[in-house]
Amino acid sequence: MDFLKSMSIAASGLRAQAGRMRIIAENIANADSTAKTAGADPYRRKIPTFQSEIDRTLDARTVSMGRLKTDPTEFQLKYQPGHPAADAAGNVKYPNVNSLVEMTDMREAQRSYEANINVIGATRRMIAKTIEILKA
């Protein structure tokens, strides 16, 4: 595999995982938010997707962020009659975000990001070694 293709594929992985981490961070930041008005829906968890692309200039398959999906699971209900976002029954809707799941997804995205950085680092070392051999 040529070096430019290898770096391009790894760079696309970096961009995709960085986008995934931004979405996960947004989910975590909104995990405890409520609606602004009584009975309204709060923040709904977003799910990042990926799509495969073909880079025709390099003749290589790369990855990018796909469409964002929303998690269709039910909101969490808590009985808090004095809360400003409580409905007529005194229930407050909280986002369908599970912080433990989000942290696990974040760790997975981080490891994938690190793997792509390692690919770029290894490719750079191979390029440097090739240049060194050619100079000799």
- Output the pLDDT for position 27: 97
The structural domain count of the chain equals 1
Per cent of the chain over pLDDT 70 is 99
- pLDDT for 131 equals 94
Determine the structural domain holding residue 72 and report its residue range: 3-135
What's the rounded Cα separation, in Å, for the pair 47 and 27?
9
> Per-residue pLDDT tens for 96-119?
999 999 999 999 999 999 999 999
Distance CA 6, CA 1 (A): 7
Q: What is the pTM of this model?
A: 0.87
